[in-house]
Amino acid sequence: MIYEGVVYRPPSEADSLLVQVTIGCSWNRCTFCNMYKDKQYRIRSMEEIMADLREAVPYRDRIRRIFLCDGDALALPAPFLTKILEEIKRLFPSIDGVRVYASSRDVLQKEPRELESFAKLGLDMAYIGLESGSDKVLAAVNKGITKQEMIDAAARLRNAGIKQSVSVISGLGGEKMSKEHILETADALNKMQPEYLGMLVLHEGEDTGLYYVTEEQGLRVPSSRQVLEEMRLLIDRLELNDCFFTSAHVSNYFYVKGRLSREKQKILAQIDGAY
Ligand code: SF4
């Protein structure tokens, strides 16, 4: 198995087989993210990807899921991704699913029938960085996409049968736009209806590989109080049918988790207890 550079995966994919199908992120311009700044985006050759998959076959009884790295595997051309998914299905017929990081831009660039075909081949979840539902915040951090496009992409995934795990970032609006950032984020999430939601925190330090602060953006690491206030306001405003919330990401100061449909009050009480 060959890995190039630092390889990232969501906390919930800790036990998954990680296979790099692209190197870096095809966008790579979000001002708060340095995960792939040291990588020039490219698609790995099909031969390399197939060799990695074949190498893992002797261990397939221990592999439950496969996560396709790096930053946005859904940016791959549809026939290329289809070939990878078909080979995974052939070599690992018993796994529970294949997962990817994806930008909403990638989703909207795929035809609905292509997404449906990916789902049939085992792609069961996409990790999407919403970051904020505020168009002002999204523009300020150069996310390159709007709130409405995020909502449209979510509908396209849902219709195709692909679950969404969405992340948002506390502190991304700074102190000045904190309330707008959270209220707009809650509104976007209520329209997206993700199955999973994670809250990250704007982080400091260029070498952490985490979301980081750029002084030119006028952003500072939010205080723990601001994080708690933003988390509380967000959860209070969410109306999600069946969504599991977690703040387990390593960037966060405060860990809560629970199913929002039935444990919302319990989570709010835990946050209140942390003030
Ligand atoms: S946040 Fe996501 S889309 Fe933006 S640069 Fe980082 S990996 Fe790429």
Q: Do residues 130 and 148 lie in contact, with contact meaning Cβ atoms separated by under 8 Å?
A: no
Calculate Rg over the CA atoms of the chain: 18
Atom of ligand 1 nearest to the CA of 29: 5
Nearest CA to ligand 1 atom 5: 28
Return the best residue to mutate from 20, 30, 101, 138 for the ligand 1 pocket (most ligand atoms within 8 A of CB): 30
pLDDT, tens digit, for every residue of 170-219?
999 988 899 999 999 999 999 999 999 999 998 876 554 456 666 666 66
> Is 35 near ligand 1, meaning CB less than 6 Å away?
yes
Give the mean pLDDT of 123-149.
96
Dump pLDDT digits (tens) for 63-122.
999 999 999 999 999 999 999 999 999 999 999 999 999 999 999 999 999 999 999 999
Asked whether the predicted pLDDT for residue 136 surpasses 80, the reply is yes
Q: Where are the alpha helices (DSSP H) in 69-210?
A: 78-91, 104-109, 112-120, 135-140, 147-160, 178-192
> Which atom of ligand 1 lies nearest, measured to the CA of 103?
3
Tell me, in angstroms, the distance from the centre of ligand 1 to residue 263's CA. 31
Which residue's CA is the closest to the ligand 1 atom numbered 7?
Answer: 71
Q: Which atom of ligand 1 is nearest to the CA of 70?
A: 7
The terminus-to-terminus CA distance of the chain in angstroms comes to: 46
pLDDT at 24: 96
The CA-atom distances, in angstroms, between 208 and each of 78, 122, 150, 167, 205 are 33, 32, 27, 18, 6
Length of the chain: 275
C-alpha 140/C-alpha 124 separation (Å) is: 32
C-alpha 80 – ligand 1 centre gap (Å): 21
Most ligand 1 atoms within 8 A of CB, residue of 8, 35, 169 to mutate: 35
Kindly report the pTM of this predicted structure: 0.94
pLDDT at 215 (0 to 100): 61
pLDDT of residue 214: 60
Q: Indicate the pLDDT class of residue 223, thresholds 50, 70 and 90.
A: confident
Q: Closest ligand 1 atom, CA of 25?
A: 8
Ligand 1 contact via 115 beta carbon (within 6 Å): no
**Which residue lies with its CA nearest to atom 6 of ligand 1?**
33
Residue 179, pLDDT score: 96
Domains (ranges, CATH) in the chain? 13-274 (3.20.20.70)
Mean pLDDT of the chain: 92
Contacting residues for 32 by C-beta, under 8 A, at least 6 apart: 131, 141, 169, 172, 202, 211, 212, 213, 214, 217, 219
Q: Which residue has the higher pLDDT, 108 or 221?
A: 108
33 Cα: distance to centroid of ligand 1 (angstroms): 6
Tell me how far the alpha carbon of residue 146 lies from the centroid of ligand 1, in angstroms. 14
Q: Give 141-174 pLDDT, tens digit per residue.
A: 899 999 999 999 999 999 999 999 999 999 999 8
CA of 225 to the centre of ligand 1 (A): 26
**Among 7, 28, 34, 142, residue to substitute to test ligand 1 (most atoms within 8 Å of Cβ):** 28
Q: Does any ligand 1 atom lie closer than 6 A to the CB of residue 31?
A: no
